[in-house]
Amino acid sequence: MAFIDLLKREVKALTFDQYGTIVDMQGCLTKVAEPFLKEKGWEGDAHRFVTWWRRTHFENSMIDSLCNRGHTPYREIGHRAVSFTLDRAGIKHTSAEVQMLVSEIEKLTPFPEVPEALQRLSGSYKLVILSNGDRDMLDAAKPYLGHTFDATVSVQEAGYFKPHHKTYEKTAEILDLSVIQCMHVANHAFDCVGAKAAGMRTAFIDRRRRPFGETPHEPDIIVSNITELADLLS
């Protein structure tokens, strides 16, 4: 507990990944995709379709950062990913249908425990969204999150998708804090690794009960949900 006490003294802000950590991206998008795919006559699993979509989006965003030729908006990469996934599944589609599916990302709702746990944490820390989403997408999503955050930071501010170190460093700069005074909270190991490599403290939300993997950038805290994080830190 001595280490937890140290974190409580040093950490001033908790930065949260939004897609998959605060909001149930997989579950919510599966509910949207299921009737759409059924109407198209596709007999595959909607959950697997969304997994293809999200993996393709992730790959394209990492390529965008590594190419270092200017930041491509999240929405544009989303359109490419959905179109590719529909093509992969052999589903005919229109640009309007692709745009409709991607727009649903702005309406994702939180995991059940999130609002109450965030309310508890808000008494001790500044709570901040740090997301790969575009500024306007994150603004549109605010009414659905179940909590009013102190700040919302898009990776557009730094010009690189997470886990590029500049996204975390820029966030600390915006918050007028040192990186070590920030703890990044994410359901994705790559996001925690990126934040830790940039100098932030990290909390891994292990919702899927999966190993974190071997890395020199181990998370400071591993919990199964945001309630457990609030139990430790508030």
Q: Which alpha helices (DSSP H) does the chain contain, by range?
A: 2-10, 25-39, 46-67, 74-88, 95-103, 114-121, 135-141, 165-175, 189-197, 226-233
Tell me the pTM.
0.96
CATH 3.40.50.1000 fits 2-24+108-233, yes or no: yes
pLDDT, tens digit, 9 for 90 and up, residues 33-65: 999 999 999 999 999 999 999 999 999 999 999
Number of helical (H) and strand (E) elements in the chain, helices listed first: 10, 6
| Percent share of the chain, pLDDT over 90 | 99
Task: Provide φ and ψ at 168, rounded to 5°.
Answer: -75, -40
Of the pLDDT bands very low, low, confident and very high (cuts 50, 70, 90), residue 94 is very high
CATH 1.10.150.240 fits 26-106, yes or no: yes
pLDDT, tens digit, 9 for 90 and up, residues 24-38: 999 999 999 999 999
The whole-number average pLDDT for the span 5-27 is 97
The whole-number average pLDDT for the span 124-129 is 98
Res 174: pLDDT: 98
The whole-number average pLDDT for the span 144-149 is 98
| Percent share of the chain, pLDDT over 70 | 100
Task: Provide φ and ψ at 124, rounded to 5°.
Answer: -120, -20
Burial class (CB in 10 A: 0-12, 13-18, 19+), 86: buried
Domain with CATH 3.40.50.1000 in the chain: 2-24+108-233
The whole-number average pLDDT for the span 97-104 is 98
What is the side-by-side strand order in the sheet with 126-131? 151-154, 126-131, 13-16, 182-186, 201-205, 221-223
Domain with CATH 1.10.150.240 in the chain: 26-106
Of the pLDDT bands very low, low, confident and very high (cuts 50, 70, 90), residue 234 is very high
pLDDT, tens digit, 9 for 90 and up, residues 190-204: 999 999 999 999 999
Res 1: pLDDT: 75
